[in-house]
Chain A
Amino acid sequence: MSYEEIREQVAKGNAPKVKELTEAALAQGTPPQEILQEGLIPAMDTVGEKFQAGEIFVSEMMIAARAMYASLDLIKPLLATQQSVTKGKAIVGTVKGDLHDIGKNLVAMLMEGGGYEVVDLGINVPPSKFVDAIREQNPDIVLLSALLTTTMPAMEETIRAIEAAGLRGSIAIGVGGAPVTQEFAERIGADFYAPDASAAVSQANRVLAGS
């Protein structure tokens, strides 16, 4: 088994092969953390870059992510027993009034493939639910998604609710979705804006490295 082979098979989206390689690696006593760091994260990194560059499309990215999960599902229970093995914890959700989940799901996949522990709150998530989840999960990153101009104000509402609950200081908030812009992100007091799913991961990395 080589990590290069795992990376290749993830990029190709060959889930059964990735599962087989992971099982073999674990049987040989390879630390699960290493499989994540040397295999899955760099593989999904490359996939995200290619998506961003327009070399691959949603289908290719979803198939690669599924292959990544074939391995991650095996190593996750093993990782959970170790301390601070992930880059950080992220909560993702589509804000109140908005049922669009395609972009949010891509972000969740790539964040997980980027080495984050992800808690997906789903769609139509009211500010209070974000606040409760932050209290319970103690995340490093909170990612808000909206597709409609009508629901963009719910992003601001959510940030205000997080502030009012006294939880703003401990987390970085990122926003994204078709009508969202850098300017809007700054205006509502978000920490970063991501124009696509791949950028959400690189921005999260950047913000956490800076803090």
Chain B
Amino acid sequence: MNSRERVLAAISHREPDRVPVDFGGSMVTSIHKVGYDKLKKHLGIKTNDEVKIARGRSLVAEVDPEVQDALGVDARMLIINDPDAWTRQTSLQERERIRDEWGMTWERPEGVDNFEIVDSPLFGPDVSIEDVKAMSWPDPEEVRALGSARDRALELRRSDKAVIANLAMQIHTQSYFLRGYSEYMMDLLLNPRLIEAIMDRVLEVFLGRTRAILKEVGDLVDVVYVADDLGMQTGPMMSPDVYRELLKPRQEKLFEVIKSGTDAKILYHSCGSVVAFIEDLVDVGVDILNPVQVSAKGMDTKELKKLAAGRLSFWGGIDSHDVLPFQGPKQVKDEVRRRIEDLGEGGGYVVAAVHNIRPEVPPENIVAMVEAVHEYGGY
């Protein structure tokens, strides 16, 4: 059984030869640039190029195939529609300030490794639906580097790994980026029509781009990655009723368009506690839940497996709040074994760290995570 077959079996709820493992297959299962440099040194792998960045906003590395193969992981990353294509590869020591295609200004203070939004056309207390209409929106037909996407997908396809199309496409997150978090959260209840107007324009951009992308590569990919954070550490970020009224129908539409353009499974990323949304995610057509943030309230892996009842697969689950950064290889292996026990029965589980691996995580722990899958993951 090769890597692709292994992943496909798992996410189709069949038991493969062993539980698959992902490191570097998506923008949310990769590693911070600084940690990646450390890992390569640890593995004794020299790739000539400067670390390629998959996600500029938080300096997430594009993991080289040599590193993936040395570790023995099962998925490769296809980046299309990089949502942070606006970031430049400047030194961390410099302050960076950039305007993106949505008209938002992002800033990274010197010495800090991620960006914040400091201005947007839809910030402020007195924004109306007219302002939303009048704003200059990105062109839904324009997808960056779409021309080369099919060639890149074909190249990844030549490996025996599962190929993940990284579409991102976050309706709720993009909308609150544009509106500003506080105003957005209050508008959800006080001015939902404004939020719907913003979400509809965002969705229009995403639908156009999704159709164009899947026309090029829909037949070549195994998984499509999308995201929208619904959870916080302590529970849902918004009331499930509000989610069902405003966001759910729009997610359903986006995922329908994805399903009509590819047979790939939909991997949906939401940080935090999402246990309250499991039925909704099944409804809207999500196949795989990521990152399974086990440190958040109610994210008990045994319980989640029961709730999913063979309708959702899990992709992630290896704790990154405590085990990966602050414990040793032995504890990492115990963690992997425990999550495989909780989530692996009957397939439906791919091991990965909860979110991108931070720079302070010891390389030994990353190696231990993958090794443990090879040691304990057999069916």
Contact = CB atoms under 8 A, between A and B. Distances in A.
Chain A contact residues, majority secondary structure: loop
Nearest to A178: B233
B98 to A, nearest CB: 15
A99 B295 contact: no
A179 B239 contact: no
Contact of A63 (B32, B189, B238): B189
A27 to B, nearest CB: 27
A57 B236 contact: yes
Interface in A160-211: 178-179, 181, 195-196
Nearest to A195: B234
A202 to B, nearest CB: 15
B322 A181 contact: yes
A57 B238 contact: yes
Interface in B257-301: 295-296
B299 to A, nearest CB: 12
Interface in B167-186: 181-182, 185-186
Chain B contact residues, majority secondary structure: loop
A145 interface: no
A133 interface: no
Nearest to B184: A59
A58 B358 contact: no
Contacts of A66: 186
Given A58-B185, A149-B321, A99 B116 contact: yes
Contacts of B235: 54, 57
Interface string B291-315: 0000110000000000000000000
26 contacts: A13-B189, A57-B235, A57-B238, A59-B186, A59-B188, A59-B239, A60-B239, A62-B182, A62-B186, A63-B190, A66-B186, A97-B111, A99-B114, A99-B116, A105-B182, A124-B109, A149-B320, A149-B326, A149-B358, A149-B360, A150-B113, A150-B359, A150-B360, A178-B233, A178-B295, A196-B234
Report the 3 A-B pairs with minimum CB-CB distance, sorted nearest first.
Answer: A179-B321, A178-B233, A149-B325
